Structure 1
């Protein structure tokens, strides 16, 4: 979309001060710990781009607030590389660079904001190559330190810590299916047929590149088979988030031109666990 179209849809340039006013009106407050998901194109023409949005968020939560994003690793080896012909596998194992929290690119599928935040001076990024998070602010170390190697969306994960400190989640023009915190609900929910994956990726340990094997819920294809309870063509997280909003949880408003939603993390997790166990049948593992 060209800049004129962005200007037309937003009613003019979206500046840092305008973003701050809109975020405040939505309910973001000084001292908040907030994980955010953003679709920049939905906001309109943001004067200064991703850096302006990060600055506006920092302005809104203030010096006592903390920002958090989901990063992942854009250049991770494919999950199924261990099914490739042996010479191909050997080549990858011999030379694929290790994940480096400081330098490895965030997954480009997550948009521009994760990379912008993790490059901001003072930001910290967790050690898990596939499920890394970055945070900026006084609670950054608490959120990101010692990210569990296995079950990185479960107990003691950055998502669990966000929830425990009564954090919030902001969908800033982002689709409803981007509510990543629901992966934590999946990790906690007790329902039949929970799906797990194992995979290998190279990481740095004491400055040396080593390959580690990881176990997690299947966050790519779905931790459960939601087919019986989700409308055709709709992502399960979109269905759950629509139900969350319909139940009166969360605040909705405009930031620039973007319809945006602000949720309490604890309520998202509680609602997600309840929904999964009710719709899929609780008690299974």
Structure 2
């Protein structure tokens, strides 16, 4: 879609001032701590691009507020790299750069905003190489500190701290399946068949490159088998959970530029997600039991 099409679809240029006004109408306010996911192309033609989006969010939450994004690491090694040919493994172990919160690029699959935000002066990024987050604002250090090496979506994680802080989640033109906070619900849910992964990544510790082994829910392949509890036409189960959440009156919906956006209370998302998973999948198994899945 070219710029003229974007302009026409959005009713003209989407400015920082316009975005700020529409975000306030959606329910975002001064002092809020908000994790956001953005579909830039859905918004229309944004004058100023990613910096205008970040600027609008900062205008709304103010000096007492905090912005948070899911970063990941664009150069994180595949979980299955130990199955690669031995010569490839040896080269990777000898030369693959270590993850560093200050320098390692955010996963491109998460869009342009995470990388733009983590580069902002004053931004803080968490230490986990596979599930890193970044934050900017008053609560940034508290949200990002001591990200657990194992189970990085569970208790003590930036997601858990977002909930504890009474934070919000904004899908700014982003699809419902991008509701990353539901991985925190997966980590907490007491339901059978929970799937785990174990993997290795090089990290920076005390200025030195070291290899470390990690354990997490299978956030890429799915922490549970949802095939029997979501419609067959739903590609990712978070879409079904989010739709049910909205139908239950959780979250607000509004226009931002050319897009439809959603704003949720982080605690409500987590509680609804845990209950949904335990009810649909059947409770009884304790989180963390069983053998980890290998990928």
For the residue of structure 2 that corresponds to 1:219, the secondary structure is coil
The residue aligned with 1:62 is: 62
- What CA distance in whole angstroms lies between the structure 2 residues aligned with 1:128 and 1:144? 10
1:11 alignment counterpart: 11
Aligned residue for 1:263, secondary structure, equals strand
The answer for the alignment partner of 1:232 in structure 2 is 232
Q: How far did residue 78 of structure 1 move?
A: 1.3
Residue equivalent to 1:211? 211
Task: Give the Cα separation in 1 of the matches to 2:198 and 2:30.
Answer: 40
Count of aligned pairs between the two proteins: 285
Partners of 1:5 and 1:74 in 2: CA distance: 31
Q: Within 2, Cα distance between the matches of 1:145 and 1:107?
A: 20
Q: 1:229 aligns to what SS in structure 2?
A: coil
* Alpha-carbon separation, structure 2, partners of 1:280 and 1:53: 38
Whether 1:138 and 2:138 are equivalent positions in the alignment is: yes
2-side partners of 1:232 and 1:55: how far apart?
Answer: 40
Task: Please give the root-mean-square deviation of Cα atoms over the aligned residues, in Å.
Answer: 0.6
Could you list the per-position Cα deviations for residues 224-251 of structure 1 after superposition, in whole angstroms to 9, with x for gaps in the alignment? 0000001113110000000000000001
CA distance in 2, matches of 1:85, 1:111: 32
Mapped partners of 1:269, 1:247: distance in 2: 14
Q: Counterpart of 2:162 in 1: which secondary structure? A: helix
For residues 238 and 125 of structure 1, the distance between their equivalents in structure 2, rounded to whole angstroms, comes to: 27
Q: How does 1:159-198 map to 2 (within 5 A)?
A: 159-198=159-198
Q: 1:138: Cα distance to partner?
A: 0.7
Q: Take 1:42 and 1:275, find their aligned partners in 2: how far apart are those partners?
A: 29
The whole-number CA distance in structure 2 between the counterparts of 1:249 and 1:207 is 45
Q: Give the Cα separation in 2 of the matches to 1:79 and 1:223.
A: 15
Inter-partner Cα distance in structure 2 for 1:204 and 1:105: 15
- 2-side partners of 1:47 and 1:85: how far apart? 48
Q: Deviations over 1:152-194 (max 9, x none)?
A: 0000000000000110000001010000000000000000000
1:26, distance to aligned residue in structure 2 (A): 0.3
SS in structure 2 of the partner of residue 224 of structure 1: coil
TM-score w.r.t. structure 1 length? 0.99
Deviation at 1:76, TM superposition (A): 1.1
Deviations 1:68-94 (A, max 9, x none): 000000011111100112221111000
3-state secondary structure, aligned to 2:211: strand
Displaced runs of 4+ in structure 1, greater than 3 A? none
| Structure 2 unmatched runs, 5+ | 287-295
SS for the counterpart of 2:253 is strand
| 1:61 CA displacement | 0.3
Q: Normalising to structure 2: TM-score of the pair?
A: 0.96
Alignment match, 1:241: 242
